Homo-oligomer: A and B are copies of this chain.
Amino acid sequence: MEKVRGTNRKTGKLFLIPTTLGETEALNKVLPGYNLQVIHSLDVFIVEQLRTARRFLKKAKHPRPIDEMQFFELNKFTDIQSVSAFLLPARDGQSVGLLSEAGTPCIADPGAAIVSLAHKNGIQVVPLVGPNSILLALMASGFNGQQFCFHGYLPVETTQLNRRIREIEANSRKLDQSQIFIETPYRNKKLFDSLLRNCKPQTQLCVATDLSLASEKIATATVDAWKKKTPDFHKKPTVFLLYSV
């Protein structure tokens, strides 16, 4: 007997789809081949910016014309009330892809609200493997990977920033924890100088720039040693890691 449409249809899934960390890189440098199979199977995407998402899907050789696909934009301009509609296709049996603008969705990146909503609606969430600058930096730092803390952005205001750095350094020592944070690229030098001024000479600092790109640079040294050189990180995406024992 033919199944009645709508009653026996399975719920779609929400796939969390990473992208490259820089536009110039080949997809197979950082994305498993399986990701492309998943991407090609989807027609509905939640994206941060339409323009870059379309460019990525073209690069990923999505077999369907871009104009026939459905896109929902999720960024700071999105009305939070409208977000629940983004998952209606999944409730209707069609899987949805949450596409990152750079790196992995939901980590130092929007998207967590959609994932939370998926859980509330019983929609299966499937995270795919891809490049994450925090993780790559921690792997390559040589610091403790058994215990670590990611703080996102530190305060911009100088007095607050100095206090926060000293607090983070004390926590690293007290809890034997690697401390990870990021900065808006044009402020990298200011953060770096504050780290050198506030941390103990023997505290270790890792500066990881342009991760997974051809221009990648990762260097670990003590604060004392860093005082004699400046990393080449001007306006480049950089992850900072601190470890004090």
| Residue ranges of A at the interface with B (Cβ–Cβ < 8 Å) | 16, 26, 28-34, 104-109, 111-113, 115-119, 124-127, 129-132, 135-152, 177, 211-212, 216, 218-221
Contact status A148-B145, CB under 8 Å = no
Contact status B129-A142, CB under 8 Å = no
Chain A facing B: main interface SS: mixed
- Given A26-B34, A136-B127, A119–B142 Cβ distance below 8 Å? yes
Contact status B212-A129, CB under 8 Å = yes
Contact status A30-B26, CB under 8 Å = no
- Given A32-B30, A34-B28, A147-B150, A116–B142 Cβ distance below 8 Å? yes
Q: Considering the complex, give the chain B residue whose CB is closest to the CB of A216.
A: B126
Measured CA separation A26–B37 after assembly (Å): 13
Measured CA separation A54–B30 after assembly (Å): 24
Best-surrounded residue of A16, A136, A211 (most CB of chain B within 10 A): A136
Q: Considering the complex, give the chain B residue whose CB is closest to the CB of A134.
A: B135
Inter-chain contacts of A106 with B (CB < 8 A): 138-140, 142, 145
Contact status A142-B104, CB under 8 Å = no
Q: Considering the complex, give the chain B residue whose CB is closest to the CB of A104.
A: B139
Q: Which of B28, B31, B146 contacts A108 (CB under 8 A)?
A: B146
Inter-chain contacts of A140 with B (CB < 8 A): 16, 106, 115, 125-127
Inter-chain contacts of A220 with B (CB < 8 A): 116, 119
